[in-house]
Structure 1
Amino acid sequence: MTIRPPRHRRTARRLRTALAGAAAGALLAGLAALPAHARGGAPEPLGTAAGTWGHAHYEPGPCPRTADPTPGLDDARCGTLTVPEDRSRPTGRTIALAVAVVPAEAHRPAPDPIVWLAGGPGDDANSEIGLALAGGLNRDRDLIFMSQRGTYSADPALTCPNIDAFNARALNLVWGAPSTGALHVEATRACRDRLTGLGADLGAYNSTESAADYADLRRALGIREWNVFGISYGTDLALLYQRLHPEGLRSVGIDGVLPPSLASGAVTWKAAREGFDGIFAACAAQPECDGRYPDLKGTFERLVVELEAHPVTTEVAVPGHPDPVEVVLDGGVLVNWLTFASHLAAGVPRSLDELAHGNPQRIAEQWAGGKLAPQAVGRLSHGLAYGVFCSEWTPFETEADVLRAGQQAFPSFPASVQAQAPGLAWLHDDCRAWDVPAAPGSVRDVTVSDIPTLVLSGGFDSQTAPSSGPYAARTLSRSTVVTVPYVAHVVFADSPCAQSVTRSFFDTPTAPDLACLACLEPPAFEIAP
């Protein structure tokens, strides 16, 4: 847990040309381009042989750089996939995508590996290796991780540390003030100018190109058949990949579902409503929580209105920062805080109650800690994030759509709060500054498929909405739909049951074991003395 007009016709022509070029390259390459270990004889370990498919080339080499120590990389087989930055110009500039193959724990792994599609957009898959291993996903299969174009371990890495730094400095600014938005857009424009000055074609960083990167990777590695597992934005990419490149797909798992046909700033309001209501209802169902924090939903909505009219300023201590940090809480900050605090649902009622009684410390500490954590600076690829948001999302909605969605989800909120999508404040202004061509409307087509698909959602998911999973599954004829109660966005990260279901699915995609779902219990909410 992760939004100008015209130019549509020019972009459509360009992407049609890109897709045609990629198909032609694949036909010309043929089987002769597969790596040596795919042509017969004793197979070499996956990821150890060079391979070419069309204009894409895989070369074994050092493991990718990661911002933190990453479990699994010591034993991984690594390399680089080199692809055209823009497939409509296959002989033009190339980019390098870092690949890591983490071996299965089993002595004789299944022949079909799992490829991991990271979230964001803009997160680096190689930084999520620990998450996959913690869930035992490599028990019986090799796991493949590749940095999506523009992400931290790719070359170029289209990160924007100046935007991250602004988000940290903005802690003492009123979130909903127009001046704060203007400063954010200024930081966005500065990063865009820096990246284009380095030669990046920002219009080439999008889901269609990323899906083609994975299709090329499978063939360059000589894999006949594999499985896909995508989380958060990776579900958007997985569904697009499933539609555009179904060949070689044994099964697909998606967790924290964001279908391309729904992806927008407006849909985040629906997600917030569903996720928040899940937490409020779980508290109300427990006599102790309900007795100590009655009408939690009403308390939250009242606080948003009050804080937007009269923001609260406080100072908090943040680990790693010697001086106190000043934090301003307004209505928009409270909405954004709860969107991500759903991962800490057990403490939400107490935090809101303390705020209602004049103590904003817990919420301010969590809000500031998230913005000032080392993981929040210099790691997200804003180049890919805005490439997706500004070509695939904002051209297909208006700012009025976002406001209207906010009004429908939370009618009592002030318009200044309703106008800013949770987690995506100032998105339309940022996209005007980013200035990339709109994608063709087909990028938002519904995926219709009979490939076995596991569709996972969390009952507390306030980022992509529990209802989005069943929505996507309507056109996936062999899908298994699972909503894990009491868990926030990306259930694989927090739920041992979800991990068990996922492993079972990849073993038997048409009949996963769902027995653990019957034993799940709601969280024990913190009760203040």
Structure 2
Amino acid sequence: MKSNLYLIALVFILMSCKSTQKRATEFVPTFSVSTKTTHKIPEGQDYTFGYLEVLENRNYTNGKTIKLPVYIFKSRSKNPKKDPIIYTVGGPGSTTMPTVQYMNYYKYLDDRDFILVEQRGNYYAQPHLDCPEWSKAIYKSNLPNFNAANHDALFEKAAKDCRERLNAEGIDLNGYNTNEIAADINDLVNVLEIEEYNLLTISYSTKIAQVLMRDYPNKIRSVVMDSPLPLEVNYDEESIQNLLESINTLFSDCESDNNCNTAYPDIKNRFSEYLKERTENPLVVEVENPKTGKTQTFYLKGKDLITVFTSASTGSVPNVPYEINKLLVNDLTSVKEKLKYLFQEPGSGSGLGMRLSVWCAEENPFNSMEKIESETKKYPEVKGLSPAVFDNEICQIWGVRKVPEIENQAVKSDIPVLFINGEYDNETPMKWAESMSKNFKNSYHLIFKGWKHTPTTNWDNNCAMVAANHFFNNLNEKPIPDCFSKIESPIFKTE
């Protein structure tokens, strides 16, 4: 009798497990409308806001779920096209949601609906993978009294503390990567019963586009990749070389301009020698701490001073030779203004956990450590500047699994693609899009002279946005709007 009871109990347990497993494997993503939005929406914009609920890690069908905010903006057209645009920004770790405040300026809505998706792990997603520990480490390391010998230990502790906190919150860090984001967007398309759609992606999110084109191509009508980052590129290995090549392109334009060349003769070589000198003998800059009123001393090397170019936006590019020349004549007013910002309190570390998970799973494992070490020492102008976004030791602490080899291999597709680049973009140089064009047979490439990263987000000149929208409406022709032909090299400031 006891044996029979045991068998009955065992059968019941097995049936319960089977039932539970069945429910888990039948999980269906959902979209629920919410009246509470992330931001105030401009007057007159018709929209729906809600949350997409998906699995945190699709390798575990009985795992927890997460929620991603989504805005669906209705087209301003009375007869909108049926293929919406899905948009998500770069990073990894950057939030898409603040964009909703500027929908009045988005040309795309003149023709079709525009859908904004927050990538998992970012600021308005649930959960949000923030890392204030990392921000505090950056703040401490930038202060003038920081002992550089403690740099590695400081950031290793920050990564460890952040990881432990997120793990304690029940977050599976292996669930936050490009493949999962691509699957999220595919789930959204299916939940909303979209038959065909277009993708607008910038910088890091162009990797999401490539994964979607490879793994879920059937419903994709066209893709715009603004400042594309190829899957097959090892970003860290090239970053310093790309930086120096980009600034040399700017110098060449200055030399070709009579006014710029007259005002700043031989600026390329002079700046190069200046950076080398400052690497060996750091520039001493005294700055008043706005919090304490005390004077504190910074020692700046070439790797610090190169930010006169890297920190420039497209709008401030015409000032770059002028600002470099100020350094060369020991006018430190601009340098001191920038250094004052280092005394501001550290940020919240928004999206940094997401950035760590993506980078440590998808970029770091494919790096050659020998190449990284070599690049750090190779260029005397910026010697000591590491090309790696995160050091190998940091990724070992973060502990996420390496993605499969296919995530470091080129994607090929016949889906219509428009590549957009800024000529001076050192983060995602135009040469990458040129190489990608070989694998995307139905593609066009636009290069915006004198512009930097992500041209479609240039609010001072919406020409790249106009070009992208023209492409969405006319897939069989290269979009060259009137505004594009009017863009020339910058008129550099000379006084």
Structure 1 length as normaliser, TM-score? 0.81
Cα distance change of structure 1 residues 61 and 328 upon mapping to structure 2, 3 Å threshold = farther
Secondary structure of the residue aligned to 1:230 is: strand
Instruction: State the alpha-carbon separation in 2 of the partners of residues 72 and 325 from structure 1.
Output: 48
Partner of 2:468: 502
Secondary structure of the residue aligned to 2:435 is: helix
Partner of 2:309: 338
Cα distance change of structure 1 residues 438 and 111 upon mapping to structure 2, 3 Å threshold = same
1:413 is matched by which residue type in structure 2?
E
Instruction: State the alpha-carbon separation in 2 of the partners of residues 341 and 176 from structure 1.
Output: 28
2:50 is matched by which residue type in structure 1?
G
Cα distance change of structure 1 residues 64 and 336 upon mapping to structure 2, 3 Å threshold = farther
Matching residue within 476, 486, 489 for 1:519? 486
Partner of 2:62: 91
Conserved 8 A contact 2:225-2:417: yes
Task: Kindly report structure 1 stretches of 4+ aligned residues shifted beyond 4 Å.
Answer: 69-75, 130-133, 173-176, 315-318, 320-328, 371-374
TM-fit CA distance, 1:331: 2.1
Matching residue within 38, 50, 73 for 1:79? 50
Larger RCO (CA within 8 A; separation ≥ 6): 1
TM-fit CA distance, 1:166: 3.0
Write the deviation string for residues 213-254 of structure 1: whole angstroms up to 9, x where unpaired. Answer: 000010011111110010010111111221111111010000
Conserved 8 A contact 1:114-1:144: yes
1:62 is matched by which residue type in structure 2?
T
Partner of 2:4: none
1:503 is matched by which residue type in structure 2?
N
Cα distance change of structure 1 residues 321 and 241 upon mapping to structure 2, 3 Å threshold = farther
Cα distance change of structure 1 residues 372 and 158 upon mapping to structure 2, 3 Å threshold = farther
Conserved 8 A contact 1:55-1:90: no
Matching residue within 391, 396, 406 for 2:366? 396
TM-fit CA distance, 1:436: 1.0
Partner of 2:337: 365
Cα distance change of structure 1 residues 473 and 367 upon mapping to structure 2, 3 Å threshold = farther
Secondary structure of the residue aligned to 2:108 is: coil
Task: Within 5 Å, give how 1:102-181 maps onto structure 2.
Answer: 102-130=73-101, 134-173=105-144, 177-181=148-152
Partner of 2:423: 459
Instruction: State the alpha-carbon separation in 2 of the partners of residues 111 and 468 from structure 1.
Output: 32
Cα distance change of structure 1 residues 126 and 321 upon mapping to structure 2, 3 Å threshold = farther
Instruction: State the alpha-carbon separation in 1 of the partners of residues 282 and 465 from structure 2.
Output: 41
Conserved 8 A contact 2:308-2:323: no
Q: Structure 1 unaligned runs (5+)?
A: 1-24, 30-53
Partner of 1:349: 321
Cα distance change of structure 1 residues 500 and 298 upon mapping to structure 2, 3 Å threshold = same
Partner of 1:8: none
Cα distance change of structure 1 residues 202 and 487 upon mapping to structure 2, 3 Å threshold = same
Secondary structure of the residue aligned to 2:236 is: coil
Instruction: State the alpha-carbon separation in 1 of the partners of residues 453 and 327 from structure 2.
Output: 24
Secondary structure of the residue aligned to 2:406 is: helix
Matching residue within 157, 160, 163 for 1:192? 163
Instruction: State the alpha-carbon separation in 1 of the partners of residues 279 and 441 from structure 2.
Output: 46
Partner of 1:55: 28
Whether 1:380 and 2:350 are equivalent positions in the alignment is yes
TM-fit CA distance, 1:334: 2.2
Cα distance change of structure 1 residues 306 and 63 upon mapping to structure 2, 3 Å threshold = farther
Partner of 2:11: none
Conserved 8 A contact 1:274-1:465: no
Secondary structure of the residue aligned to 1:240 is: helix
Partner of 1:283: 254
TM-fit CA distance, 1:174: 8.5
The range that moved more, 305-314 or 390-399, is: 305-314
Instruction: State the alpha-carbon separation in 2 of the partners of residues 379 and 100 from structure 1.
Output: 24
TM-fit CA distance, 1:314: 3.1
TM-fit CA distance, 1:383: 1.7
Count of aligned positions: 467
Partner of 1:262: 233
Conserved 8 A contact 2:202-2:226: yes
Partner of 1:435: 399
1:384 is matched by which residue type in structure 2?
M
Structure 2 length as normaliser, TM-score? 0.86
2:323 is matched by which residue type in structure 1?
S
Secondary structure of the residue aligned to 1:467 is: helix
Q: Structure 2 unaligned runs (5+)?
A: 1-21
Whether 1:226 and 2:193 are equivalent positions in the alignment is no
Conserved 8 A contact 2:303-2:382: no
Secondary structure of the residue aligned to 1:142 is: strand
Instruction: State the alpha-carbon separation in 1 of the partners of residues 43 and 468 from structure 2.
Output: 20
RMSD over equivalenced CA pairs, Å? 2.8
